């Protein structure tokens, strides 16, 4: 069977030549899918979905270049599958539920490390010149905007932005020195 013959049969309204056209390219399409998925069961499942999509898109097929058209649909579908998150939600059984860790509550060890880092950061901020301490405190701890800080300290927004940039740079350098 040639592609041209099948295309003619398709336009002649015979007994589903489009399905025959898809089947005649099965090995080719499976090979494309195998490039994306190594598990044979996945390849077969994806092929079934691609076949279904090809049948649904039959009206978009112009009658020539079926191999390219089908390959494009196959590749695009495989790319979509690869991009999807691979997490499948499963019901937790009783044993797994016992060991579930709540992410909203840090462990005591994580809390201790976080507290120590906060203390170290506070010491580093205290080492900065007073002008830089003030803008860092107002921006990060009081959550004021550059404009609000500028109004409070009688500075332009650009000056506030520059001071925050320089303070962050100093904090970074002091943090690295303390880490060594």
The pLDDT tens digits for 52-64 are 888 888 888 877 8
The predicted-structure confidence for 72-94, as pLDDT tens digits, reads as follows 989 888 888 888 765 443 434 44
Whether residue 4 has pLDDT greater than 90: no
Set out the domains of the chain in order of their start, with CATH numbers. 3-83 (1.10.1740.10), 108-179 (1.10.10.10)
Q: What is the mean predicted confidence (pLDDT) over 5-10?
A: 54
Instruction: Write down the pTM of the prediction.
Output: 0.42
Instruction: Give the alpha-carbon dihedral of 83, 87, 88, 89, to 10 degrees.
Output: -140
For position 86, what pLDDT does the model report?
53
Q: What is the mean predicted confidence (pLDDT) over 22-47?
A: 89
Q: How far apart are CA 55 and CA 59, in angstroms?
A: 9
The distance in angstroms from the start CA to the end CA of the chain is 73
For position 153, what pLDDT does the model report?
92
The predicted-structure confidence for 123-160, as pLDDT tens digits, reads as follows 888 999 999 999 988 988 888 999 999 999 999 999 99
For position 13, what pLDDT does the model report?
52
């Amino acid at each position: 069977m040639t592609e041209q013959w099948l295309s003619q049969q398709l336009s002649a309204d015979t007994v589903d030549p489009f399905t025959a056209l898809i089947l005649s390219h099965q090995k080719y399409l499976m090979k494309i899918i195998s490039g994306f998925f190594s598990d044979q069961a996945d390849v077969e499942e994806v092929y079934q979905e691609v076949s279904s999509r090809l049948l649904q898109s039959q009206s978009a097929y112009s009658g020539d270049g079926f191999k390219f058209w089908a390959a494009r649909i196959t590749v695009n579908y495989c790319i979509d599958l690869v991009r999807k998150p691979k997490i499948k939600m499963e019901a937790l059984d009783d044993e797994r539920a016992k060991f579930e860790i709540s992410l909203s509550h840090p462990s005591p060890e994580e809390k201790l490390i976080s507290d120590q880092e906060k203390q170290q950061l506070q010491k580093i901020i205290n080492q900065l010149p007073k002008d830089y301490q003030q803008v860092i405190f107002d921006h990060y701890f009081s959550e004021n905007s550059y404009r609000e800080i500028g109004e409070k300290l009688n500075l332009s927004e650009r000056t506030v932005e520059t001071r925050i940039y320089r303070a962050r740079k100093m904090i970074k350098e002091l943090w690295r020195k303390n880490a060594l």
